[in-house]
Structure formats: C-alpha cells, structure tokens
Amino acid sequence: MQINWSRKALLQLDIIINQCVDLFGERIAIRFYRQLSDYEKRLSKNPLLGPPEPLLQNRKRSYRGLIIHDHFKLIYYITNKGIIQIADMWDTRREPAKLAKRIK
C-alpha cells in the first residue's frame, strides 16, 4: 500500500532528525531514520498495524497511531483510495491533549 506524508509530518520528522543529530550524533540519527523506514515498510504491508488513536476518536477520519520509538508515534489514517496518509509524527512525551489540537 502506498504511503504519503503530510507537510506537517515531514516538517516534524525534519525537526526530530535535526535534534537527534545535535543531541546524539549523525550515526544515531541514521539509525533512527532506518528504524522509521522499517516501520514504514511494515505499515505498507499491514495498514491496520497501529491501533485506533483514542485521543482522536469521533473525527471524520479514523486515525491510528503506531509507536515507532520510545518517544515517537506516527499518526495516520487510510484514505478512501487505500493510501496510508501520515498526518503527524507525535512526541509521546508531550501533553496528550495537544495532539487533538494539532490534528484537525
């Protein structure tokens, strides 16, 4: 199944990768990116891999969340055309209520 990233999700990914490089070095950032790519492959083969996201229930779309790292979760939904749309990349250390505000 095809995966598309929203601008918001790509921007968040860029911020996370840059912070990872600054805090832990390029080698760790590359490892994180490879881990993310592995999860992306798994998700494309099994779109229901992530459970429904409880903070985003009762929305027009059925959002799901897939934890890809101790502190990060991919927030995504499946379009009517069968495309996995990654809406955001969420830092799970943040206040949960802010996730509902970020996803409209």
Q: Could you tell me the CATH superfamily of domain 3-102?
A: RelE-like (3.30.2310.20)
Using DSSP's 3-state secondary structure scheme, residue 97 falls into helix
The answer to whether residue 6 scores a pLDDT higher than 90 is yes
**Domain ranges across the chain:** 3-102
Nearest to 98 by CA among 43, 52, 55, 41: 55
Tell me: the pLDDT tens digits for 39-98?
Answer: 999 999 999 999 999 989 888 899 999 999 889 999 999 999 999 999 999 888 888 777
Q: Using DSSP, how many helices (H) and how many strands (E) does the chain show?
A: 3, 4
Using DSSP's 3-state secondary structure scheme, residue 55 falls into helix
What's the CA gap between 82 and 35, in Å, rounded? Answer: 24
